[in-house]
Structure 1
Amino acid sequence: MDVVQLMESLAEQGVTVSFKADAERMSDGTKPWTFVASGTPFRDDLLVRTDAVSLEACLKVCLPQLRELGVVIPD
């Protein structure tokens, strides 16, 4: 998946997206990647968030949640 295309598509739909790789958690061997999505399409300040072992694992968890909320995810 093209992450830049994904983030641009989400932003165009009013979703703010952050990816983070945490050096401390990486050196500890714990889930160093964080994905957070928030914004206009969601009610009540809802966040879609996960911590995972890889960027791909973050997407595997969060993209289905975003789809359920009505966000269009590009192929």
Structure 2
Amino acid sequence: MDVLAIMEALAEQGITVLLKADAERMAEQRKPWTFVASGAPLRDDILVRTDAASVEQCLEACLPRLRELGISLPG
């Protein structure tokens, strides 16, 4: 999965993307990764967000939702 290509594709469509690793949650062995997507193309100020154990899990949770909202993604 090409995370950079996904983030670039979202940004090109006007979506702001945040991918975060939280050191505190990682040390506590909680879901350290956060993915947040927001912006004008998402209707009604929808925020697509998840916390997960890995980047891949974040994307597996959020990309289908973004596609449902009509956002074009690579792959």
Q: Same fold (TM over 0.5)?
A: yes
Secondary structure at the aligned position of 2:34 is classed as strand
Write the letter of the residue equivalent to 2:49.
R
The separation in 2 between residues aligned to 1:73 and 1:44, in whole angstroms, is 20
Q: Which moved more, 1:40-49 or 1:63-72?
A: 40-49
After the TM superposition, which parts of structure 1 deviate over 6 Å for at least 4 consecutive aligned residues? none
Q: CA deviation at 1:43?
A: 2.0
Q: Which moved more, 1:60-69 or 1:42-51?
A: 42-51
Secondary structure at the aligned position of 1:44 is classed as helix
The separation in 2 between residues aligned to 1:73 and 1:43, in whole angstroms, is 17
Cα RMSD (Å) of the superposition?
Answer: 0.6
User: Hey, what does 2:59 align to over in structure 1?
Assistant: 59
The separation in 2 between residues aligned to 1:44 and 1:66, in whole angstroms, is 14
User: Hey, what does 1:17 align to over in structure 2?
Assistant: 17
Between the two proteins, what is the percent identity of the paired residues?
A: 68
- The number of residue pairs the alignment matches comes to 75
Under a length normalisation based on structure 1, what TM-score does the superposition of the two structures give? 0.96
Under a length normalisation based on structure 2, what TM-score does the superposition of the two structures give? 0.96
